[in-house]
Amino acid sequence: MGKRAEVEAGVREGVTTSKAQRVKDLEREVRGLRKANQISKLASAFFAQVELDRRIKSRRPLSTSIAVLLCRWFHVPRRSVYHRPVKAAPTLQARFVAPIKAMIEANPSVGYRRVAHLLVNTGR
């Protein structure tokens, strides 16, 4: 009887083939998870920088190769990375809000042209 057979039979001290294979598989899985975790951290940092650049309205071009790779890895469309909103959100002027609401409540079928005409005629 050989050494390996004695270990498998439990006669001799040592690691069985099935346990050694299990350890090998778990080590491979841990390496894969660590790599995925590293990629996730890099992607998170990249997209945080993209968001920061978007908020500052920087015109600096993104590194195309990194953006393309990260978008492929995470199945995100590239247009969502490069999109920059063009139109600003509307701002309401308090001096117009109350008169316009009053006009619309008095006559709900009033359109924007009529409202503008009434505002001009009332001196507001």
- Note down pLDDT in tens along the chain; length 124 residues: 678 788 787 788 888 888 889 999 999 999 999 999 888 888 888 887 777 666 655 555 545 567 777 778 888 887 777 766 677 777 888 888 888 888 888 888 888 888 888 788 876 5
Residue for token pair 């600096």: 60
Tokens of 10: 């439990």
The predicted model scores a pTM of 0.38
The number of C-alpha atoms within 13 Å of 18 and in the hemisphere containing its C-beta is: 4
